[in-house]
Amino acid sequence: AGAARSARLPLARVKALVKADPDVSLASQEAVFVLARAAELFVETIAKDAYVYAQQGKRKTLQRKDLDNAIEAVDEFAFLE
């Protein structure tokens, strides 16, 4: 239970999203937690990369173009293009 509390995304919402997939019939709490943590790390990583572009534009607020620039520049984000 201690590990579940360290997740920042609501696990019930993540589980609902997982179960919305017609190919998924069951999802263990551990699987839901791992998916939630992976999503958190993904959002953190892309936000940090996008913030570099916001700083280059002398801004503190991320804009869509900052995310687009990060997606274009980082090979790992190519699946988002």
pLDDT digits (tens, 9 = 90+) for 10-61: 999 999 999 999 999 899 999 999 999 999 999 999 999 999 999 999 999 9
pLDDT score recorded for residue 81: 84
pLDDT-derived band at 6, boundaries 50, 70, 90 = low
Judge contact between 60 and 54, C-beta under 8 A. yes
Output the DSSP codes for the chain: -HHHHT-SS-HHHHHHHHHTSTT-S---HHHHHHHHHHHHHHHHHHHHHHHHHHHHTT-SS--HHHHHHHHHH-GGGGGG-
Domains observed in the chain: 11-80 (1.10.20.10)
